[in-house]
Homo-oligomer: A and B are copies of this chain.
Amino acid sequence: MRVLVLGGDGYLGWPTAMYLSQRGHEVAVLDNMVRRSWDNELGAESLVPIASLQERVAVWREVSGKSVAVYVGDLCDYTFIEPVIKEFAPEAIIHYGEQRAAPYSMIDRRHAVFTQVNNIVGTLNVAYAMADHVPDCHMVKLGTMGEYGTPNIDIEEGYITITHKGRTDTLPFPKQPGSFYHLSKVHDSHNLMFCCRIWGLRVTDLNQGVVYGVDTDEIKLHEKLRTRFDYDSVFGTVLNRFLVQAVAGMPLTVYGKGGQTRGFLDIRDTLACVELAMLNPAEKGEFRVFNQFTEQFSVLDLANAVREAAGAHGIDVTIDNLPNPRVEKEDHYYNAVNTHLLDLGLQPHYLSDTLLNSVLQLVQQHKGRIDSRLVLPGVNWRETGTNAFKVSA
Contact = CB atoms under 8 A, between A and B. Distances in A.
Contact of A333 (B116, B167, B199, B381): B167
A171 B151 contact: yes
Interface in A127-162: 128, 131-132, 151-154, 156, 160, 162
Contacts of A165: 153-154
B175 A172 contact: yes
A61 interface: no
Of A156, A187, A193, A386, the most chain B CB neighbours within 10 A belong to A187
A56 to B, nearest CB: 32
Interface stretch (A3-11, A45-53, A117-125): A117-125
Given A153-B165, A160-B164, A183 B172 contact: no
Contacts of A199: 382, 384
A190 B186 CA distance: 8
Contacts of A178: 194
A197 interface: yes
A174 interface: yes
B131 A112 contact: no
A78 interface: yes
A391 interface: no
Contacts of A183: 187, 190-191, 194
A302 to B, nearest CB: 24
Nearest to A128: B109
Interface residues of A, number: 52
Contacts of A42: none
Contacts of A190: 175, 177, 183, 186-187
A168 interface: yes
A180 interface: yes
Contacts of A393: none
Contacts of A175: 172, 190
A113 interface: yes
A198 B382 contact: yes
Contact of A113 (B121, B172, B174): B121
A71 interface: no
Interface string A192-203: 011001110000
A121 B128 contact: no
B174 A171 contact: yes
Nearest to A172: B174
Contacts of A160: 162, 164, 174
Of A109, A116, A152, A160, the most chain B CB neighbours within 10 A belong to A109
Interface in A79-122: 109, 112-113, 116-117, 120-121
A154 B167 contact: yes
Nearest to A109: B128
Contact of A124 (B116, B169, B198, B382): B116
A141 to B, nearest CB: 16
Of A152, A154, A163, the most chain B CB neighbours within 10 A belong to A152
Given A162-B162, A167-B333, 10 more contacts: A112-B128, A120-B187, A128-B384, A160-B174, A162-B174, A171-B174, A172-B175, A179-B194, A187-B190, A199-B382
23 contacts: A112-B124, A112-B128, A113-B121, A117-B117, A117-B121, A128-B384, A152-B167, A152-B168, A153-B164, A153-B167, A154-B164, A160-B164, A162-B162, A167-B333, A171-B174, A176-B193, A178-B194, A180-B194, A186-B187, A187-B187, A197-B327, A198-B327, A198-B381
Q: Which 7 A-B pairs have the closest CB atoms?
A: A171-B174, A152-B169, A153-B164, A109-B128, A187-B187, A153-B167, A172-B174
